[in-house]
Structure 1
Amino acid sequence: MQYKKVTHVLFDLDGLLIDSEKLYTEAFETVCAKYGKTFTWMLKASLLGFQGYECADKIIKELSLPLTREEFMSECQTIYEKVFKNVELMPGAQKLVEHLYNKGVPIAIATSSSQESVDMKMQNHKSFLNYFHHITMGSSDPDVTKGKPDPAIFLVCASRFPDKPAPESCLVFEDAVNGVKAACAANMQVVAIPDPRIDKEQLKISTLVLNSLEEFQPELFGLPSYA
């Protein structure tokens, strides 16, 4: 497989740089169980990459929960405030991000989360965020009109680098099918690092699929190698 040289790198956040997806699952399971409903992996898989209110709407609809969007999100928020204090970086995240930063590669984060959510999850990882030129937050950014799989978030994120790289010059890292679809729709190459339970068939549009950020070889995409 021949990969195209890139100059800029965009990272998803949840489930890719930080191990937060299991904490979202914990919150959704807890709230659903309160109303006698089961939050399944199948439902979870369909939500990956969605903005917060989209997740709430779909869970309420699929499980017929007796809650409004606001009530559901408020109950989840209470749990988030407890569990997100302990979120950890994913294996290989610190090494890769630090390496690209030190080599002068422009990097940014494109997350469906809101500013408030990012602040809460990254409260113990503030220095890690300093490596990134900027963060585009889908749920609180007026320029991001639609959530993934729409390409809006990646196109907006790329446009905020001072040199405004062409989409073809950007490499995206994603863990979710909706995120992979969004990157492809933006005409960017995409490295998928999915939850092992995701059906590989859904990821075949990815440029490359890895088990972990630790496996990534920057030189494949014309980026400075670790050596």
Structure 2
Amino acid sequence: MNRLSAAAKSFNKVTHVIFDLDGLLLDTETIYTEATNNVVQHYGKTYTWEIKSQIMGLTGEEAAKHIVKLLDLPITWEEYYRLAHEQYKLLMPRAKFMPGAENLIKHLHRSKIPMAVATSSTKESADLKIAKYKDIFSLFNHMVMGGSDPDVKHGKPSPEIFLVCASRFEDSPAPEKCLVFEDAPNGVTAAKCAGMQCVMVPDNHITADQTSHATVVVKSLKDVKLEQFGLPSLK
């Protein structure tokens, strides 16, 4: 509590908000784990949290290469990628909003705060996840899908995706005017390297030292204090 109180003195006012997608707005991380294990168990392997924590935030291709290498799978990363996507198509339509996400999006929209999504997913993958919620996602100014966007050459923890995302707002705000919401350490690192403040909503498996570089850490999006960053208070 003291750490957050002290940090509050140095918070900068922001004008724009950027959200991650997986595990932050939509509860897809459990689905990713299930889908990955459905593939790797055929080779006698298990997709553990230790491995997952190393690839969160990476693009699909980068993640596939890491999984094949870390689990020593007897297939190419391209073959793994194909098998995994077959599983995603089956399971991703089950994805639901994380606690507080829908309310926060609607609140920022009503308050006329420009907001966007910066996800490491491909457009195909992101479209699959948000298909049931097009009305909510239509409230965003834009979405950057790092896995297939030609302007995003490197996945998180590179700051590239957040800088590209900021540049696509109509008024192209400076990085320090953007507030990022993330759930993964790689994503937080990317936001900080981009020169942006970052609110982290970590998975329960994430250790305290993996959250230390976030501007603020909260248990859920329902607990966000927007007024700390000069934004309209969440009702």
Alpha-carbon distance between aligned partners in 2 of 1:26 and 1:199, rounded to the nearest angstrom: 22
1:170 maps to: 178
* Percent identity over paired residues: 50
Does residue 84 in structure 1 map to residue 92 in structure 2? yes
1:110-149 equivalence runs, <5 A: 110-149=118-157
Structure 1 residue 69: Cα displacement: 1.5
1:152 maps to: 160
Structure 2 SS opposite 1:85: helix
Q: 1:54 is matched with which residue: 23, 42, 62?
A: 62
1:1-227 equivalence runs, <5 A: 1=7, 2=9, 3-227=11-235
Structure 1 residue 38: Cα displacement: 1.3
Alpha-carbon distance between aligned partners in 1 of 2:71 and 2:122, rounded to the nearest angstrom: 25
Number of residue-to-residue matches in the alignment = 227
CA distances 1:100-128 after superposition (whole Å, capped 9, x unpaired): 01110000000000100011111111111
Structure 1 residue 67: Cα displacement: 1.0
Alpha-carbon distance between aligned partners in 1 of 2:47 and 2:95, rounded to the nearest angstrom: 21
Alpha-carbon distance between aligned partners in 2 of 1:163 and 1:28, rounded to the nearest angstrom: 40
CA distances 1:125-159 after superposition (whole Å, capped 9, x unpaired): 11111110000010110111110000000000000
Alpha-carbon distance between aligned partners in 1 of 2:208 and 2:166, rounded to the nearest angstrom: 27
* Amino acid in the other structure paired with 1:75: L
Q: Is the 8 A contact 2:224 2:234 kept in 1?
A: no
Alpha-carbon distance between aligned partners in 2 of 1:111 and 1:188, rounded to the nearest angstrom: 16
Structure 1 residue 226: Cα displacement: 3.0
The CA RMSD measured in Å over matched residues stands at 0.8
CA distances 1:154-178 after superposition (whole Å, capped 9, x unpaired): 0000000011100000000000000
CA distances 1:32-59 after superposition (whole Å, capped 9, x unpaired): 1111111111001111101001111011
Q: Which moved more, 1:24-33 or 1:10-19?
A: 24-33
Query: Structure 2 unaligned runs (5+)?
Result: 1-6
CA distances 1:183-206 after superposition (whole Å, capped 9, x unpaired): 000000000001011111021111
Structure 1 SS opposite 2:132: coil
Query: Structure 1 unaligned runs (5+)?
Result: none
Structure 1 SS opposite 2:131: coil
Q: Which runs of 4+ in 1 moved over 2 A?
A: none
Alpha-carbon distance between aligned partners in 2 of 1:85 and 1:190, rounded to the nearest angstrom: 28
TM-score (norm 1): 0.98
